[in-house]
C-alpha cells in the first residue's frame, strides 16, 4: 500500500535536505565559558555543569510546522562542535581563537595520543588494530533507559540524587550526584526555553499554527521534568533526552532500544481514550523520523547510527510486536530515511503478519530493517554475564551490537583488529608488506614452515599480539575517559550509576563490556585453507614460492593467484572444513579477548561491523593467499569473500549459521546479501526471501541484512564493479554475481529490473 | 547405475514451488534455436572455454592427451571431453560440463538444503537437457529423494518414449511440461523435430492423474503472437483437466555459453518480449488453464 507523506513532513524534509551544512560553534563557546569557570573542580561536576550551561545558553529554534522540537545545534542541519574531545576532527574546523587556545594540548585526543605506545601508533598507522572509540570522542554506543526518563521525569531523578547526596560521605559519590543534578537541571531548563519560545512564536502565528505552538509549549513545560501522559509528551521527552545525550558527549551509535515497547502503552492509551487517531500517531512518528534525520552528524558518513529496535520477545517469551511496531515500519517505508536505522528481532513465535511487513519493507529497497536472532543473541550475552532477567530486553546499538537498554555500557567499537593483516604478518615474520616496517612480533621465516601447524602457530601469535595492542589502546582511551570524559546525564539513565554514585565511564553501569571489531575473518580463513590444501597437502607450491608471490603481489604468479582464488575450500559455500577453519581462527581472538579486563570492570568481546572500514583496511593489507591483491577490499562482514560464494544464498547462509555465533560474536556480526528487485517481485519472491531468512535464523544465524537494489543501482554497478562484488542477481532462475556477467547479460537484467520496478 | 549431469543449482526458485535444488541432466533430443543451456544438448561431457577468464598460462596445452587444445583454442573434432585441461586450468576459464554420478551422489548434494525445502514447500527438480532421456536413472534419483522425504519435480520437454514417464511416474510429485507450439511444422522448424510424440505423451500423462504444470516459453519470431498462443490454448483446452501454466520469457542469458562452446547462437538478434506483450499472451491462455503466471 502506497501512502503519501503528509505535507507537513515533506516540507520539513525538503527544508532539511536543502541545508548546506557548516559547523555551529555555539556549543563549543558555551562549553568553553563553562570549563573556564569550573577549573580545578572534579571532572564529573565540570561535565554536569557544562551540560547545564550549554543547554541554558545556546540559541534554540523551532521550525515552521514542527510538532516535536529540539536540536543539537543552533541552526538546522549544522554540525555540532566538541572541542574538548578533538580539535583536529574534522580537519580545518574554524575554532574560535579562545576555544582553540583553551583546549589545545588538553583534548581527550591529545591526552590519549600522549599515552599511546609506539606499538599502538604503529598498528593504527596501518589500520591493523586500534582506532578505539573514545580515543578522540566519547564512548557513544549505548541505549539509555528512555523509559525511565519518560515515565519518571528528571525532577524525580534529581530528587533521588539529592536524597543520596544528603546521607553520603564518599567524596567521589558526592561529586557524581552533584554533577548529575546539574545535568538534570540543565535538561529541564532547556525544555522550558522551548516552551517560552513556542509561546512567543504563537503570538504572531496564524490561528492553526498558534494552537500547535501552544500545545508544544504545554508539552515542553511538562516533559522531561515530569512523567509523560500522552504519546506526544512521551516522544517529546524521548527527543529531549536523545538530543541532550548528543550534546553531552561527542559520540555516535546512541541508540533508542525498543522504541515499539516503551512507547506502545502511550499509543494505546491515546487511541483508546479517543485522543489520537492512527493517522495522527503516524504523523507524530514521521515527525520523530525527521528528528532522527536532523540529528545526523554529517561528518560521520552521513549517519549517526541511531539504531531503533522493534519486534522480538517479551519476558515470558511471547511475541512483542504490536501496532506501534507496524507504524515504525510504515514510517521507514514512507520516508526512505536511513535514520533511524531499523532493526527487527526474530524469534520462533514472531507474528507472521509483522514479519511479512518486515520483508515488504526490505523489498522496497531501503535496506532495512536488519534482522536479528533472539535465540543466538540472548545466549551470547548470557555467556558474558548478562542476567536472564535483563537479557530478553536487548536492543541493537549502532550497526549490529546488542546491548541491554538502561543497564549496559558495551563500548562496542572499542577498537578494531584486522585479522587479514595478522595473516599477512604471519607470512612475513611480523613485517608489514605495505610499509616494510615491523609491526608484529617475529614469528619466524614463513618460507621455512614445514607444516600447517607451524603456519597456524605464527598466525595465532600475530592475531593475539594485535588483539593485545588493541586492548591496550582501548584501556588507555578508557582511562582518559575516566579522567575527563564523564557523562553524568547519560549515567542518570544507566543502572546502577545513580545507586552507586559512579559515572558510566567509571564503570557505574550494571553491565560493562568492550567490543572489538574484527575485520577480514573470511580472508584469513580462506587464505589459511589455501595454504593447507595447496601447499601442505597437495604440495603444488612451496611456502617459499608463496611468500615470494605475495611479496610481488602475484606479479609473475597469476596462475598461482588463480589457483588460490578458485580453490574450492572457501568460506560461504557450505563446505564444512572451510567453515570450521574460520571458527578455529576466530576462537583465537575471541578467547583471548574474553580473558582481558577493561577499565570499567568488564572485559573484551568480539564482533564484526565493518560499515565501510573493509575498504580502508583492505588498502592497508598486502596480498594474501586467498588470491586477493594488495590493497583490495577485504570481506565486508561474516560472509564470503567478495564473489567467492559461488554456491548461492542457501549455501552462504548455512556457512554463516555454522559460525560459532554464540561463542565468538557476542558483540554482533553482520552478513550482507543483495537481491535485485526482479527476484523479489517475481511470483513468490517475498515468500522465498522470508523462508530463506527464517531457515537461516532457525539454523543459528545471528544477523542478516538484505539489500534489494533497483535498476539505477545496477547501472552504477556496471560503472563501478569494485563496489558491488557481492551483488547477487537472478539470472533465469538462479543467482549470479552481477559483476561477473557479461555486459550484454547485465544490460538485459537492468532492462528487466526496470520493467518490474516500473 | 550412473547418470550424466552437468550442474546442480541450489536456490532455484522458478522450477516449481518454493526453494529448490535443480539437477541438470545432460543430453536432449531437441535442438531449439533459443536454448539457453546449449551445454545441455549433447549427452557427452564437453569443455567450455570462457575467453575473458583465460590468463594464457598454457597449462591446458600440455595437459591434453589428445593434443586438441592450445591456449584455450579447442579442436572440437579431436577433443574427447576427458576434462584434463579443465583440471589444470587455474582460472576456471576451461570447465568440464558433464560428470557421471550415482543417484546417491545426487541425493547427497540435494540433502544440503533440506531445511529450506521444508520451510518453503520446495524440493528438488530434475531438469536438463532432458531428464527423461535418462529415465531409469531419473527414476532412481527420484525414489531416493522420496525416501528421504524430499518433494520432487521433473521438468520435461516430453519428447521421449512414454516408457520413460512410466519409470518416474510414481516418484515425481510434479511434472513441469513444456509446450512450445501447437503446430507440428513450426515445432520441427524451431526445435528440429515435430511435436506429435510430445502431445501424445502429455495426453497420456494427464490420463494418469499426474500433477502437472504447463510451461510455455515465449520466443520472438516463433510463437510470440496471439494466434500462436490461441493455438496452444486449443491444445491445452483439449486436455482432460485444467492445469496451471507458466509463461517463460525468452532471454539471452545463455549467449556466453554458445561462445564458450564455439557454436553459433541463432537467437542473437531476438529481444525479450516486454511486459505488456507477456500480459497479452497470458490473457490469451487464461481461458484454457487453471492459472497463467508470467515468470
ipTM comes to 0.95
pLDDT band at A1 (very low <50, low <70, confident <90, very high): very low
Q: What percent of chain A has pLDDT over 70?
A: 96
Cβ neighbour number for residue A94 with a 10 Å cutoff = 10
pLDDT band at A734 (very low <50, low <70, confident <90, very high): low
Cβ-based contacts of A684 with chain B (< 8 Å):
13, 17-18
Distance from CA of A675 to the nearest CA of B (A): 13
B256 touching A, CB under 8 A? Answer: yes
Grid cell, residue A683, equals 511470483
B 104-143 residues with CB < 8 A to A: 112-113, 115-116, 119-120
Which residue in the set A559, A691, A751 is minimally distant from B19, CB to CB? A691
A435 pLDDT higher than 90: yes
The residue-averaged pLDDT of B72-95 equals 94
Query: Using CA atoms, how far apart are residues A515 and A402, in angstroms rounded to an integer?
Result: 10
A217 pLDDT higher than 70: yes
For residues B209-245, one letter each, b for 16 or more C-beta atoms within 10 angstroms of the residue's C-beta and e for the rest, the string is: ebebbbbbbbbeebbbeeebbbbbbebbeebeeebeb
pLDDT confidence of residue A642: 77
A726 pLDDT higher than 70: no
The 10s digit of each residue's pLDDT in A80-102 is 999 999 998 777 888 999 999 99
Distance from CA of A537 to the nearest CA of B (A): 17
Which residue in the set A654, A694, A755 is minimally distant from B119, CB to CB? A694
B10 touching A, CB under 8 A? Answer: yes
Distance from CA of A648 to the nearest CA of B (A): 6
pLDDT confidence of residue A527: 98
pLDDT confidence of residue B251: 86
Where does A249-387 have alpha helices with state H? 259-262, 264-272, 278-294, 323-335, 352-361, 374-383
The residue-averaged pLDDT of B13-23 equals 93
pLDDT confidence of residue A578: 98
Q: How far is CA A471 from CA A242, A416, A521, A605, A609, in A?
A: 30, 9, 19, 10, 18
Cβ distance of A733 and B57 shorter than 8 Å: no
What is the signed CA dihedral for A353, A355, A359, A361, rounded to 10 degrees?
Answer: 80
Cβ distance of B112 and A650 shorter than 8 Å: yes
Cβ distance of B13 and A730 shorter than 8 Å: yes
The residue-averaged pLDDT of A460-468 equals 98
Among A127, A119, A131, A117, which Cα is nearest to A439's? Answer: A119
Helix or strand (DSSP H, E) at A15 = helix A7-17
pLDDT band at A476 (very low <50, low <70, confident <90, very high): very high
pLDDT confidence of residue A118: 96
**Phi, psi torsion values for A735, nearest 5 degrees:** -100, 145
Higher pLDDT, A477 or A616: A477
Query: Using CA atoms, how far apart are residues A90 and A77, in angstroms rounded to an integer?
Result: 16
Cβ-based contacts of A541 with chain B (< 8 Å):
none
pLDDT confidence of residue A752: 61
Cβ distance of A733 and B19 shorter than 8 Å: no
Averaged pLDDT score across all residues of chain A: 93
pLDDT confidence of residue A380: 97
pLDDT band at A20 (very low <50, low <70, confident <90, very high): confident
Among A112, A30, A45, A92, which Cα is nearest to A479's? Answer: A112
Query: Using CA atoms, how far apart are residues B152 and A707, in angstroms rounded to an integer?
Result: 31
The 10s digit of each residue's pLDDT in B243-255 is 999 999 998 878 8
Higher pLDDT, A640 or A7: A7
Cβ distance of B275 and A682 shorter than 8 Å: no
Return all residues near B292 (Cβ < 8 A) that are at least 6 apart.
B244, B245, B246, B247, B282, B283, B285, B286
Query: Using CA atoms, how far apart are residues A87 and A109, in angstroms rounded to an integer?
Result: 8
Which residue in the set B18, B22, B256 is minimally distant from A745, CB to CB? B256
pLDDT confidence of residue A74: 96
pLDDT confidence of residue A756: 40
* A-B Cβ pairs (cutoff 8 Å, strict): 103
Query: Using CA atoms, how far apart are residues A119 and A470, in angstroms rounded to an integer?
Result: 10
* A738 secondary structure, DSSP code: G
Interface test with B, best of A538, A734, A737 (most B CBs within 10 A): A734
pLDDT confidence of residue A610: 73
Strand order in the sheet with A672-676: A257-258, A307-311, A341-346, A370-373, A703-709, A672-676
Cβ-based contacts of B14 with chain A (< 8 Å):
682, 732-733
Report the residue of chain A nearest B53, measured CA to CA.
A562
Which residue in the set A561, A563, A688 is minimally distant from B13, CB to CB? A688
Are A402 and A394 in contact by the 8 Å Cβ rule? The answer is yes
* A531 secondary structure, DSSP code: I
B272 touching A, CB under 8 A? Answer: yes
A 526-565 residues with CB < 8 A to B: 558-563, 565
B 189-228 residues with CB < 8 A to A: none
Cβ distance of B11 and A699 shorter than 8 Å: no
Of A138-147, A299-308, A579-588, B131-140, the one with minimum mean pLDDT is A299-308
Cβ distance of B91 and A566 shorter than 8 Å: yes
The residue-averaged pLDDT of A296-322 equals 86
Cβ distance of B92 and A732 shorter than 8 Å: no
Q: What is the DSSP string of chain B?
A: -EEEEEEEEEEE-SSSSSSEEEEEE---S---TT-S-GGGSSSS-EEEE-GGG-----HHHHH-TT--EETTEE-TTT-----HHHHH-TTSSEEEE-EEEEHHHHHHHHHTTHHHHHHHT-EEEEESS-GGGGHHHHHHHHHHHHHTT--EEEEE---S-HHHHHHHHTT-SEEEEE---S-HHHHHHHHSS-SHHHHHHHHHHHHTT--EEEEEEE-TTTT-SHHHHHHHHHHHHTSSS--EEEEEE---TTHHHHHHHT---TTTT-----HHHHHHHHHHHGGGSSEEEE-
pLDDT confidence of residue B18: 94
Cβ distance of B113 and A650 shorter than 8 Å: yes
Query: Using CA atoms, how far apart are residues A218 and A226, in angstroms rounded to an integer?
Result: 12
pLDDT band at A333 (very low <50, low <70, confident <90, very high): very high
pLDDT band at A755 (very low <50, low <70, confident <90, very high): very low
pLDDT confidence of residue A758: 27
Cβ distance of A748 and B295 shorter than 8 Å: no
The 10s digit of each residue's pLDDT in A38-61 is 999 999 999 999 999 999 999 999
pLDDT band at A644 (very low <50, low <70, confident <90, very high): confident
Cβ-based contacts of B255 with chain A (< 8 Å):
742, 744-745
pLDDT confidence of residue A669: 92
A676 pLDDT higher than 60: yes
First to last CA, chain A: 15
pLDDT confidence of residue A743: 78
pLDDT band at A754 (very low <50, low <70, confident <90, very high): very low
A313 touching B, CB under 8 A? Answer: no
Interface test with A, best of B253, B267, B274, B277 (most A CBs within 10 A): B253
The 10s digit of each residue's pLDDT in A740-749 is 677 777 877 7
A299 pLDDT higher than 80: no
User: What's the burial of B281, exposed, middle or buried (CB within 10 Å: 0-12/13-18/19+)?
Assistant: buried
B59 touching A, CB under 8 A? Answer: yes
Amino acid at each position: 500500500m502506497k501512502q503519501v507523506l503528509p505535507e507537513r513532513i515533506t516540507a520539513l524534509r525538503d527544508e532539511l535536505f536543502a541545508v548546506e551544512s557548516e559547523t555551529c560553534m555555539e556549543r563549543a563557546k558555551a562549553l568553553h565559558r563553562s570549563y573556564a569557570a569550573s577549573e580545578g573542580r572534579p571532572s564529573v561536576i565540570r561535565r554536569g555543569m557544562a551540560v547545564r550551561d550549554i543547554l541554558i545558553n545556546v540559541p534554540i529554534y523551532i521550525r515552521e510546522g514542527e510538532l516535536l522540537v529540539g536540536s543539537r545545534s543552533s541552526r538546522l542541519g549544522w554540525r555540532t562542535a566538541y572541542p574538548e574531545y578533538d580539535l583536529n576532527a574534522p580537519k580545518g574546523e574554524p575554532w574560535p581563537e579562545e576555544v582553540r587556545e583553551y583546549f589545545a594540548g588538553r583534548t581527550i585526543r591529545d591526552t590519549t595520543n600522549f599515552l599511546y605506545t609506539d606499538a599502538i601508533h604503529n598498528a593504527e598507522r596501518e589500520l591493523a588494530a586500534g582506532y578505539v572509540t573514545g580515543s578522540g570522542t566519547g564512548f557513544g554506543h549505548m541505549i539509555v533507559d528512555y523509559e525511565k526518563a519518560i515515565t519518571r521525569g528528571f525532577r524525580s531523578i534529581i530528587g533521588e540524587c539529592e536524597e543520596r547526596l544528603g546521607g553520603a560521605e564518599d567524596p567521589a559519590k558526592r561529586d557524581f550526584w552533584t554533577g548529575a543534578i546539574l545535568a538534570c537541571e540543565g535538561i529541564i531548563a532547556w525544555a522550558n526555553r522551548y516552551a517560552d519560545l513556542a509561546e512567543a512564536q504563537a503570538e504572531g502565528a496564524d490561528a492553526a499554527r498558534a494552537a500547535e505552538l501552544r500545545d508544544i509549549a504545554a508539552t515542553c513545560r511538562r516533559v522531561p521534568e515530569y512523567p509523560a501522559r500522552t504519546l506526544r509528551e512521551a516522544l517529546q521527552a524521548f527527543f529531549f533526552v536523545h538530543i541532550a545525550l548528543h550534546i553531552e558527549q561527542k559520540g555516535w551509535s546512541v541508540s533508542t532500544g525498543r522504541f515499539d515497547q516503551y512507547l506502545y502503552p502511550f499509543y494505546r492509551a491515546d487511541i483508546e481514550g479517543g485522543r489520537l487517531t492512527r493517522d495522527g500517531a503516524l504523523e507524530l512518528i514521521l515527525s520523530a523520523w525527521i528528528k532522527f534525520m536532523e540529528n545526523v552528524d554529517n561528518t560521520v558518513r552521513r549517519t549517526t547510527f541511531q539504531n531503533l529496535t522493534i519486534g522480538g520477545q517479551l519476558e515470558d517469551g511471547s511475541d512483542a510486536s504490536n501496532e506501534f511496531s507496524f507504524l515504525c515500519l510504515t514510517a521507514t517505508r514512507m520516508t526512505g530515511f536511513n535514520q533511524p536505522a531499523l532493526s527487527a528481532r526474530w524469534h520462533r513465535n514472531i507474528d507472521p503478519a509483522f514479519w511479512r511487513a518486515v520483508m515488504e519493507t526490505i523489498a522496497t529497497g531501503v535496506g532495512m530493517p536488519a534482522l536479528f536472532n533472539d535465540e543466538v543473541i540472548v545466549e551470547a550475552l548470557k555467556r558474558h554475564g548478562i542476567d536472564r532477567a535483563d537479557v530478553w530486553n536487548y536492543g541493537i546499538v549502532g550497526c549490529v551490537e546488542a546491548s541491554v537498554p538502561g543497564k549496559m555500557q558495551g563500548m562496542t567499537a572499542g577498537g578494531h583488529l584486522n585479522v587479514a593483516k595478522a595473516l599477512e604478518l604471519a607470512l612475513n615474520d611480523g613485517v608489514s608488506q605495505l610499509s616494510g616496517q615491523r609491526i608484529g612480533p617475529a614469528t619466524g621465516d614463513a618460507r621455512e614452515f614445514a607444516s600447517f601447524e607451524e603456519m597456524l602457530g605464527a598466525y595465532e601469535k600475530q592475531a593475539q599480539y594485535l588483539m593485545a595492542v588493541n586492548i591496550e589502546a582501548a584501556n588507555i582511551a578508557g582511562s582518559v575517559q575516566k579522567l575527563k570524559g564523564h557523562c553524568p546525564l547519560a549515567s542518570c539513565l544507566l543502572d546502577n550509576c545513580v545507586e552507586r554514585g559512579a559515572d558510566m565511564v567509571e564503570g557505574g553501569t550494571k553491565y560493562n563490556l568492550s567490543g572489538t571489531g574484527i575485520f577480514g575473518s573470511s580472508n584469513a580463513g580462506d587464505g589459511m585453507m589455501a595454504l593447507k590444501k595447496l601447499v601442505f597437502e597437495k604440495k603444488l607450491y612451496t611456502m617459499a614460492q608463496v611468500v615470494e608471490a605475495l611479496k610481488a603481489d602475484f606479479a609473475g604468479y597469476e596462475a598461482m593467484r588463480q589457483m588460490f582464488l578458485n580453490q574450492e575450500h572457501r568460506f560461504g559455500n557450505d563446505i564444512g572444513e572451510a567453515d570450521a577453519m574460520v571458527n578455529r581462527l576466530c576462537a583465537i581472538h575471541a578467547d583471548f579477548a574474553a580473558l582481558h579486563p577493561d577499565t570499567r570492570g568488564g572485559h573484551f568481546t568480539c564482533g564484526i561491523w565493518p560499515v565501510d572500514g573493509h575498504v580502508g583496511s583492505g588498502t592497508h593489507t598486502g596480498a594474501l593467499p586467498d588470491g586477493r591483491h594488495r590493497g583490495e577490499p577485504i570481506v565486508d562482514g561474516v560472509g564470503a569473500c567478495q564473489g567467492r560464494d559461488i554456491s548461492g544464498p542457501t549455501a552462504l547462509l548455512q556457512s554463516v549459521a555454522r559460525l560459532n555465533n554464540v561463542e565468538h560474536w557476542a558483540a554482533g556480526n553482520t552478513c550482507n546479501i543483495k537481491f535485485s528487485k526482479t527476484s523479489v517481485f517475481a511470483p513468490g519472491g517475498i515468500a522465498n526471501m522470508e523462508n530463506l531468512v527464517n531457515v537461516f535464523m532457525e539454523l543459528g544465524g545471528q544477523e542478516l541484512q538484505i539489500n534489494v537494489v533497483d535498476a539505477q543501482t545496477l547501472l552504477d554497478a556496471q560503472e563501478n564493479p569494485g563496489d558491488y562484488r557481492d551483488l547477487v542477481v537472478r539470472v533465469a532462475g538462479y543467482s549470479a554475481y552481477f559483476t561477473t556477467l557479461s555486459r550484454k547479460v547485465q544490460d538485459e537484467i537492468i532492462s528487466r529490473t526496470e520493467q518490474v520496478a516500473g | 547405475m550412473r547418470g550424466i549431469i552437468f550442474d546442480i543449482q541450489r536456490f532455484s526458485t522458478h522450477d516449481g514451488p518454493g526453494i529448490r535444488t535443480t539437477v541438470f541432466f545432460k543430453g536432449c533430443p531437441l535442438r531449439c534455436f533459443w536454448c539457453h543451456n546449449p551445454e545441455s544438448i549433447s549427452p557427452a561431457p564437453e569443455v567450455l572455454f570462457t575467453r575473458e577468464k583465460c590468463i594464457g598460462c598454457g597449462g591446458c596445452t600440455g595437459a591434453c592427451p589428445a593434443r586438441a587444445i592450445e591456449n584455450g583454442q579447442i579442436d572440437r573434432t579431436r577433443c574427447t571431453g576427458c576434462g584434463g585441461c579443465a583440471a589444470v586450468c587455474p582460472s576456471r576459464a576451461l570447465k568440464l560440463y558433464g560428470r557421471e554420478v550415482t543417484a546417491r551422489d545426487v541425493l547427497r548434494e540435494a540433502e544440503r538444503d533440506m531445511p529450506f525445502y521444508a520451510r518453503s514447500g520446495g524440493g528438488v527438480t530434475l531438469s536438463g537437457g532432458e531428464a527423461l532421456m535418462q529415465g531409469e536413472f531419473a527414476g532412481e534419483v527420484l525414489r531416493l529423494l522420496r525416501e528421504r522425504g524430499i518433494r520432487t519435480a521433473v521438468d520435461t520437454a516430453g519428447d521421449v518414449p512414454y516408457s520413460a514417464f512410466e519409470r518416474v511416474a510414481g516418484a515425481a510429485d510434479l511434472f513441469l511440461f513444456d509446450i512450445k507450439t501447437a503446430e507440428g511444422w513450426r515445432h520441427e522448424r524451431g526445435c528440429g523435430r515435430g511435436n506429435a510424440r510430445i502431445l501424445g505423451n502429455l495426453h497420456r500423462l494427464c490420463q494418469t492423474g499426474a500433477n502437472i504444470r504447463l510451461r510455455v516459453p515465449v520466443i520472438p519470431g516463433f510463437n510470440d503472437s496471439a494466434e500462436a498462443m490461441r493455438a496452444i490454448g486449443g491444445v491445452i483446452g483439449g486436455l482432460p483437466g485444467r492445469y496451471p501454466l507458466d509463461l517463460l520469457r525468452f532471454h539471452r542469458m545463455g549467449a556466453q555459453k554458445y561462445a564458450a562452446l564455439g557454436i553459433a547462437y541463432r537467437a542473437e538478434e531476438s529481444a525479450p518480449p516486454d511486459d505488456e506483450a507477456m500480459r497479452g499472451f497470458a490473457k490469451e491462455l487464461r481461458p484454457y488453464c487453471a492459472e497463467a503466471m508470467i515468470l
